[in-house]
Amino acid sequence: MVWLPNMIVVALLAGAFILFRTVRRNRFWTESIARLWRRRRFSLIIIGLYLAVALLDTISWVGGSASENASDVVAAHKPRSVIDRIFQPDSFMEISYSEPFADVGFYGEQPLAHPGKHILGTDILGQDVFYRSLKGVKIALLIGGLTTLIVIPIALIFGLAAGYFGGRVDDVVFFVMSTLASIPNLLLLIALIIVLGTGPVQVCVALGVTGWVGFCRLTRGETLKLREADYVQAAKALGASHLRIITRHIIPNLAHLIVITFALQFTGLVLAETVLAYLGIGLDGSWGQMIDQARNELSRSPVIWWNLAGATVLLFTLVLCVNLCADALRDILDPRTRKEAQ
Amino acid sequence: MFAYIVRRLAYGAVTVLGVLLLLFVLFFAIADPDDIARQAIGERASAEVYEQWKVNHGYDKPLVINAEHGVLEPGRYTDTLLFEHYRSMLTFDFGRSDADDVPIAERLRQGALPSLSLTLPLFALSLVVGVFFALLVAFFRDTYVDFAVLVMCMLAMSVASLIYIIAGQYLIGLTLKWFPISGFDADPALVIRFLALPIIIGVIASFGGDVRLYRTVFIEETNKDYVRTARAKGCGDARVMVRHVLRNALIPILTSVVLAIPFLFVGSLLFENFFGIPGLGAITVEAINGNDFSTLRTMVYISALLFIVAQILTDISYTLADPRVRLS
Amino acid sequence: MSRALVELQNLKVTFPTPQGRVAVVDDVSISLEEGKVLALVGESGCGKSMTALALMRLVPKPGRIEDGSGIRFNDIDVPTLSVPEMRALRGNEMSMIFQDSMTSLNPVVRVGDQVVEAIRLHERISYDAARKRVLELFERVGIPDPEQRFSTYPHLLSGGLKQRVMISMAVATRPRLLIADEPTTALDVTVQAQILELLRELKRELGTTILLITHDLAVVNELADHVVVMYAGKVVEQAERRTLLTSARHPYTEGLLGAIPQRGERGKGLNEIEGVVPPPDEWPAGCRFSSRCNQLFAPCRDNAPPEVSFGEGHVAWCHALDKGAGS
Ligand SMILES: Nc1ncnc2c1ncn2[C@@H]1O[C@H](COP(=O)(O)OP(=O)(O)OP(=O)(O)O)[C@@H](O)[C@H]1O
Ligand SMILES: [Mg+2]
């Protein structure tokens, strides 16, 4: 399975390129992106850094020395990512806790193997906290990104079908939505994960099932409105096919909603994972799990705070930047403010 | 009017059946009864023990069709897990916990009060605090006060609730020692001390999102024509806000908030578990950790049922109260 | 000649746009004599409402009254008033009936209480006394069954009744100036006539000065003493009612007059104006009407039109008229 993560990287880069090509031809989107860049330069750069870390953590191959202990056959045949190769986690570790930049261990004061090199100290197993926090980036983006990739097509298809065709289709979609919406999100999520099992794909599917309803309702409502719009009626009168009307006239007018929802949903998902981690059904190696493990360390005396701080700060920064961008995007793309600006 | 109420009730009933169907698919079709039994009593019991356990907990029937009965016998369809599931849920006969055989109804009765004693004040206080600050911010809109509070909200929204709990317990409970850090007491005089910490933390955790949301409602309201009329009459800004804008904005705010009320009964998973409050939320977390499927699905069912009922009630009372809604 | 109650001097109201601030009311100077009715006429989007709102200092954000605008009301310099002084003026000395009575009443406050508030903001009287006054007012403005109407909510009233409530709210404090912003636009024809009749009676009884905003010249004919025609934020012509209706000079006014068919007897033929008022940031340099004018010639596009006077207060701003007068 060495090839899978690398294929994902290739697919993502290809997708990004195609997106770039399509967007570049559209003046509205290029202008919106330029405005977003002017207003949220800093956040965008930080998000870019996170993306870069996640990519570096996905590109991986077998080979090179996994640890000084060359006889460790299993470790030698495990693919390791660029980040792993930079940090060499198997050798870059201590016996147990050590403070950030410390020269000696936290308990016992014995000298460290790598004095002054652990920017965020080490955890109870002696692992570098900074390395573990960086590993969390990929998982966070996976939770947010993969789930949203599941949610948006489903919600779009059902929302469009319900809103555009109405009648029976609408009744069925509406019923499914109201059924799912009547169960508290967290409980439904837990039930799904308990039944499906924990694992990245299962968790993302569970998050997707609970998350699509809101967006679907939005799509349905918006489509209902657009269906009655003059230009759609005109296209219909000219004999355009349903498919053409939907792809040419309706989806482009939903695009701004998709973008805003993506951004808002993303932060909600990343934050929700911490709760799942607390309940013991989160993803291995996620920030939520780090926070959950670190929470008892606060009551130690003297306090061990760096474990908590690493994950918290990275999580907070990512969510804040995405929130800021979502906010700006809403301003830029909102048709109401757009009209006022005209 | 009457027809509308009947239709609304019927739709609510259908939604309940839909929820039950979903639960059936999740907890019986996807989760295998054999797995459930194994998780409940361990891997190394004999086959008879598993069978006995399944009989005791009602997992021993075929899923949808019982082939032991003939095609025309009703038993073919009623002597099944599906039928049994619907029957027990609809008659509130929840049976026993998969994990420790305690009757689930008993659990629910014990947990409801602690849950409500946490969530109700938390809910009310969050609402009041959120509306108050949003009103203040809307009053000072487009000034530095507004900007500062918005920045604060944005920062506050980006912090995970788990962090609020951990940090709050550490700062207020451990360092300042104002309140006990966790626990519960049935005595109303003592319970306040135990509930204070989770309530304070809960209000802070929901502050950012609430204020931003309510502010939008207020600002939208201040752009309406009747506000201009009020100002043309000679109302001052403060009076316009409190007498005119607040009253109108409370309608959408309350409508959205009313639907959160049924979930108060189910308590808060995070807070109850963290602060040792023996409510329904804590019971649910226990059920998660103990793979107690019967308790879990009952909790899901109960909360969905409460939500559907609340929704019907609000819908009906709105149509009764406000003719504008009835028209649309 | 009686003195001026309202005097606007070079009033300028601007709104920000991506291209910078544009003036939606530009250099407007109007004077309104005590006890008279002045009609402000023009198509939708000409800045009529903004002019009136500026007078009450109610221009909505992000709009603003530019420095150097002179607003005098009853010899008070309005822009320099403090906020409480302004508040004491609003609803008391000057009050306004708004364009859209459907949305201009607070939907969750009983209509009676909304009028009571208007009174009690300016007079220290008890609720019951105010309530009695409101019931009398309702009776006076022709609201049937005032006791019962007092405690209903706006959405239960018809458009005409709502407008009557608005009117009673505006006249409750016997203001010296009543601004009526298209008081009849949202109503159907028979109700329109009743409301106009009511305004005429109120004017006679109370001697109120009225600033009447409308785009309906029939309403002007019914009520006005003096008419000011606005186009795209500028005054283009002003005159006594009779003069304006019979011998309007500006092409825009002629177009407006042409737009109402029953004035066909004027013998000038119908010359309806094509199109609509463009949005403020697309207003032409030079004469603002140049993009739609049918008597266009060289200087119109680039130079501001000159003031041309025809005597007895009849003034128009137009290049075509200037040439005509000069030759
Ligand atoms: N909030 C705003 N932001 C930007 N421009 C505005 C705003 N409000 C009004 N305007 C502009 O000011 C101009 C004048 O508006 P105003 O309401 O005074 O027109 P009006 O003559 O009263 O028209 P109507 O007959 O429709 O009431 C309009 O062209 C409008 O585009
Ligand atoms: Mg207007």
Q: What is the β-pairing status of strands C307-309 and C315-317?
A: antiparallel
CATH of domain B104-321: 1.10.3720.10
Using an 8 Å CB-CB cutoff, list chain C residues near B233. Answer: 90-91, 95, 117-118, 121, 169
For testing contact with chain B, the best of C57, C82, C111, C117 (most B CBs within 10 A): C117
Distance (Å, whole) CA C194 – CA C188: 10
The answer to whether C98 and B225 have CB atoms below 8 angstroms apart is yes
Q: What is the CA(C214)–ligand 2 centre distance, in A?
A: 8
What's the gap in Å between the CA of A291 and the closest CA on chain B? Answer: 8
Task: Please identify which residue in the block is written with the tokens 């009965």.
Answer: B69
Residues with CB under 5 A from ligand 2 (ion): C 49
Please name the residues between 240 and 299 in chain A that touch chain B, using a CB distance below 8 Å: 267, 271, 274-275, 277-281, 288, 291-292, 295, 298-299
A323 touches chain B (CB under 8 A): yes
Probe residue for ligand 1, chosen from C15, C252, C283 as the CB with the greatest number of ligand atoms within 8 Å: C15
pLDDT score recorded for residue A231: 82
Contact A187 B300 (CB under 8 A): yes
Probe residue for ligand 1, chosen from C22, C43, C46 as the CB with the greatest number of ligand atoms within 8 Å: C46
Q: Residue B52 has which token pair?
A: 């006995």
Contact B30 A196 (CB under 8 A): yes
Rounded (5°) CA angle C307-C312-C314? 35
Q: What is the CA(C94)–ligand 2 centre distance, in A?
A: 18
Q: What is the CA(B238)–ligand 2 centre distance, in A?
A: 26
Task: Classify burial at B265, counting beta carbons within 10 Å of its beta carbon; exposed 0-12, middle 13-18, buried 19 or more.
Answer: buried
Q: What are the residues facing A222 on neighbouring strands?
A: none
Concatenating the DSSP letter of every residue in B278-319 gives: -SHHHHHHHHHHTT-HHHHHHHHHHHHHHHHHHHHHHHHHHH
Using an 8 Å CB-CB cutoff, list chain A residues near C17. Answer: 341
C16 touches chain A (CB under 8 A): no
Q: What is the CA(A226)–ligand 2 centre distance, in A?
A: 29
Domains in chain C, please, with CATH? 4-93+175-322 (3.40.50.300), 104-174 (no CATH)
Q: What is the CA(C45)–ligand 2 centre distance, in A?
A: 7
Using an 8 Å CB-CB cutoff, list chain B residues near C100. Answer: 225
pLDDT score recorded for residue B92: 85
* Facing residue for A279 by CB, picked from B285, B291, B307: B285
Distance (Å, whole) CA C108 – CA B228: 15
Over chain A, what is the mean pLDDT?
Answer: 84
The chains in contact with chain C, meaning 3 or more Cβ pairs closer than 8 Å, are A, B
Which long-range contacts (C-beta less than 8 Å, at least 24 apart) are formed by B212-216?
B212/B134, B212/B150, B212/B153, B212/B154, B212/B157, B213/B130, B213/B134, B214/B130, B214/B131, B214/B134, B214/B135, B214/B249, B214/B253, B215/B134, B215/B137, B215/B138, B215/B150
- Which residues are CB-contacts of B38 (< 8 A; sequence separation ≥ 6)? B50
Give per-residue pLDDT as tens, A58-108. 888 877 665 555 556 666 677 788 888 787 777 777 777 787 877 777 777
Please name the residues between 42 and 101 in chain B that touch chain C, using a CB distance below 8 Å: none
Concatenating the DSSP letter of every residue in B101-125 gives: --BHHHHHHHHHHHHHHHHHHHHHH
C10 touches chain A (CB under 8 A): no
Task: Please identify which residue in the block is written with the tokens 């005032």.
Answer: C146
Task: Please identify which residue in the block is written with the tokens 């097509």.
Answer: A153
pLDDT at C274 over 50: yes
Helix (H, G, I), strand (E, B) or coil at C8: strand
C235-264 per-residue burial string, b: 16 or more CB within 10 A, e: under 16: bbbbbebebbbeebbbbbbbbbbbeeeebe
Task: Classify burial at A159, counting beta carbons within 10 Å of its beta carbon; exposed 0-12, middle 13-18, buried 19 or more.
Answer: buried
pLDDT score recorded for residue C11: 94
Report which DSSP code applies to A79: -
Domains in chain A, please, with CATH? 130-341 (1.10.3720.10)
pLDDT score recorded for residue C269: 43
pLDDT score recorded for residue B326: 44
Index of the ligand 1 atom closest to the CA of residue C51: 18
Give per-residue pLDDT as tens, B180-194. 777 777 777 777 888
pLDDT score recorded for residue A72: 63
Across A210-238, average pLDDT = 86
Index of the ligand 1 atom closest to the CA of residue C232: 29
Using an 8 Å CB-CB cutoff, list chain A residues near B309. Answer: none
Q: Specify which of A199-203, A335-339, B257-261 reaches the highest per-range mean pLDDT.
A: A199-203
pLDDT at C2 over 80: no
What is the domain partition of chain B in residue ranges? Answer: 2-90, 104-321
What's the gap in Å between the CA of B284 and the closest CA on chain C? Answer: 42
Q: What are the residues facing C178 on neighbouring strands?
A: C95, C210
Concatenating the DSSP letter of every residue in B124-153 gives: HHHHHHHHHHHHHHHHTTTSHHHHHHHHHH
| Residue of A142, C60, A233, A305 whose CA lies nearest to B232 | C60
Q: What are the residues facing C97 on neighbouring strands?
A: C180
Distance (Å, whole) CA B290 – CA B304: 22
The answer to whether B180 and B194 have CB atoms below 8 angstroms apart is yes
pLDDT score recorded for residue C265: 46
pLDDT at B128 over 90: yes
The answer to whether B26 and B36 have CB atoms below 8 angstroms apart is no
Phi-psi region of C98 (alpha: psi -120 to 50; beta: other; left: phi over 0): beta
Q: What are the residues facing C309 on neighbouring strands?
A: C315
Instruction: Average the pLDDT over each of A261-265, B47-51, B283-287, C149-153 and give the range with the smallest value.
Output: B47-51
Helix (H, G, I), strand (E, B) or coil at C36: coil
Distance (Å, whole) CA B39 – CA A88: 39
pLDDT score recorded for residue B133: 92
Contact A182 B160 (CB under 8 A): no
pLDDT at B36 over 80: no
What's the gap in Å between the CA of B305 and the closest CA on chain A? Answer: 8
Q: Report the sign of the C-alpha dihedral through residues C83, C84, C87, C92, in that order.
A: negative
Confidence of residue A342 (pLDDT cuts 50, 70, 90): very low
pLDDT score recorded for residue A158: 92
Give per-residue pLDDT as tens, C75-125. 999 999 999 999 999 999 999 998 887 789 998 889 999 999 999 999 999
Distance (Å, whole) CA A186 – CA B236: 45
| Residue of A293, A265, A266 whose CA lies nearest to A277 | A293
Across B98-121, average pLDDT = 85
Say what percent of chain B tops pLDDT 70: 97
Across B239-266, average pLDDT = 83
Concatenating the DSSP letter of every residue in A88-154 gives: -TTTS--SS-B-TT-SB-TTT-PBPSSTT--TT-B-TT--BHHHHHHHHHHHHHHHHHHHHHHHHHH
Contact C58 B231 (CB under 8 A): yes
Report which DSSP code applies to C262: G
pLDDT score recorded for residue C148: 93
| Residue of B94, B126, B116, B160 whose CA lies nearest to B268 | B116
Residue in chain A nearest C282 by alpha carbon:
A342
> Comparing B258 with B298, which gets the higher pLDDT?
B298
Contact A341 C279 (CB under 8 A): no
pLDDT score recorded for residue A232: 83
A307 touches chain B (CB under 8 A): no
pLDDT score recorded for residue B111: 86
Residue in chain C nearest A340 by alpha carbon:
C17
Q: What are the residues facing C237 on neighbouring strands?
A: C229, C316
| Residue of B124, B162, B132, B161 whose CA lies nearest to B260 | B124
Predicted model pTM: 0.83
pLDDT score recorded for residue C85: 93
pLDDT score recorded for residue B328: 39
pLDDT score recorded for residue B203: 92
For residue C51, the ligand closest to its alpha carbon is 1
Probe residue for ligand 1, chosen from C19, C50, C283 as the CB with the greatest number of ligand atoms within 8 Å: C50
Helix (H, G, I), strand (E, B) or coil at A213: helix
Give per-residue pLDDT as tens, A152-171. 888 999 999 998 888 899 99
Instruction: Average the pLDDT over each of A146-155, A186-195, C266-275 and give the range with the smallest value.
Output: C266-275
Rounded (5°) CA angle A33-A37-A38? 120
Half-sphere exposure of residue A295: CA atoms within 13 angstroms, side-chain side = 19
| Residue of A109, A66, A63 whose CA lies nearest to A88 | A66
What's the gap in Å between the CA of B318 and the closest CA on chain C? Answer: 14
Across A125-136, average pLDDT = 86
Q: Specify which of A116-125, A311-320, B27-36, C289-298 reaches the highest per-range mean pLDDT.
A: A311-320
Ligand 1 residue neighbourhood (C-beta within 6 Å): C 15, 24, 42, 44-50, 60, 63, 99, 215, 279-280
For residue C181, the ligand closest to its alpha carbon is 2
Half-sphere exposure of residue C73: CA atoms within 13 angstroms, side-chain side = 25
pLDDT at B78 over 90: no
Please name the residues between 218 and 237 in chain B that touch chain C, using a CB distance below 8 Å: 223-226, 228-236
Please give the torsion angle defined by the CA atoms of residues C240, C245, C249 and C250, in that order, rounded to the nearest 10 degrees: 100
* Facing residue for C155 by CB, picked from B236, B251, B324: B324
What's the gap in Å between the CA of C76 and the closest CA on chain B? Answer: 17
Q: What is the CA(B89)–ligand 2 centre distance, in A?
A: 60
B253 touches chain C (CB under 8 A): no
Half-sphere exposure of residue A10: CA atoms within 13 angstroms, side-chain side = 6
pLDDT score recorded for residue C176: 92
Distance (Å, whole) CA C55 – CA C75: 13
Probe residue for ligand 1, chosen from C17, C48, C182, C228 as the CB with the greatest number of ligand atoms within 8 Å: C48
Q: What are the residues facing B96 on neighbouring strands?
A: B103
> Is the peptide bond between A302 and the residue preceding it cis, with omega within 30 degrees of 0?
yes
